Amino acid sequence: MIKPHGSDKLIPLFVGDPDQRQRLLEEAESLPKLLLDSASAANAVMLGAGYFTPLKGYMNLADALSVAKNMKTSSGLFWPVPCLNRTNDIEAIEGVKRIALLDPNIPGNPVLAIQDIKAVEEISEADLKVMTEQTFGTLDSNHPGVATFMAAGKYIISGPIQVLNFSYFEKDFPETFRSAVQIREEIKARNWDTVVAFQTRNPMHRAHEELCKMAKEAVHADGVLIHMLLGKLKKGDIPANVRDAAIRKMVELYFPANTVMITGYGFDMLYAGPREALLHAVFRQNAGCSHFIVGRDHAGVGDYYGPFDAQEIFKTIPEGVLEIKIFNADHTAYSRKLNKVVMMRDVPDHTPEDFVILSGTKVREMLAAGEPLPEEFARPEVAKILMGYYMSETANN
């Protein structure tokens, strides 16, 4: 199986031993406490689950700036996006060396992790702008990732962490949330060698379904990892439980048995386009996948990125820093001429009228109105699940 990123073995920061975990929870009661923001909590979950191997905790300012500017830490490790714990309120942790990190996403704010503090540093406005612009490619506050990043705390708390649970993800998504450790174990149990990963924060329509099948066939993969984001999204995106149900129905009915693993990970969407595509590749390598599909406007939002910027950025990184191979996908759509889903680059003789393409806005309008989507665009069983969600949303608003 493919090696983890930057390490011979996976480095999950979750404390697996129940007795040790209980001792740390008891210790946490007497430690100074810091309430995390959602982004910092998501970073902790990803560190705990092994997706951020080989990181041992949150970055300091020097590493964060180096990652933003050069896509590598001060020590030279390739990393595309800063991994930070940020806050505006350091009163309770000034001068201390060890703190309990509280979960902002669960009522009562239970302890999520324990951190050994190496440094508490204030981010200057100039440094914050550099980190934001280099990571997101823009300073436009209308960009949802920029707005979140700019509004996070002005202090960085760096240092290693011990993760004590996986926040709400295990409870809310027991059949879907999986750590990188668990995915590697499942790949091994299935005797899969070549595995192609598909990232999604949306329901999967016919084009996505066929893209997974095309990629699997092209790289001669043993199976496909459908890996959905389960954390926070921007307003208007479809909730994870609805996406989960729709994807499971699609796989059940339209994929051969035992060719797909449906899993999810606990991270908040950054909408950082090319940089986030690189990060997605890192944690798919850490999950044991040999190939990763990078599609049109991967991890993008609005028109902040070009349609293939997320593919082009892989050409700019030093050879060998990632072992995972990239499957570059074009926009896929149903061809009326050929009566099947195709990649547009493969059919240069087609005109726009030859494809069945619906905008996201049009899809939402049709579903909310109870109108069936064309079967060329969405499987009817999937559309039914989505229609139920949109109609309930419309009724409640």
DSSP helix, strand, coil percent of the chain (3-state; round to 5): 40, 20, 45
Separation between Cα atoms, residue 42 and residue 168, nearest integer Å: 10
Per-residue CA distances from 217 to 194, 247, 311 (Å): 11, 20, 20
Separation between Cα atoms, residue 196 and residue 224, nearest integer Å: 5
Separation between Cα atoms, residue 292 and residue 311, nearest integer Å: 11
Give the three-class secondary structure for 338.
Answer: coil
Query: Taking the alpha carbons of 348, 353, 354, 355 in that order, is the dihedral positive or negative?
Result: positive
| The token pair that represents 390 in the structure block | 């949109």
Positions annotated as catalytic residues are 201-202
Per-residue CA distances from 334 to 210, 294, 350, 363 (Å): 10, 19, 11, 15
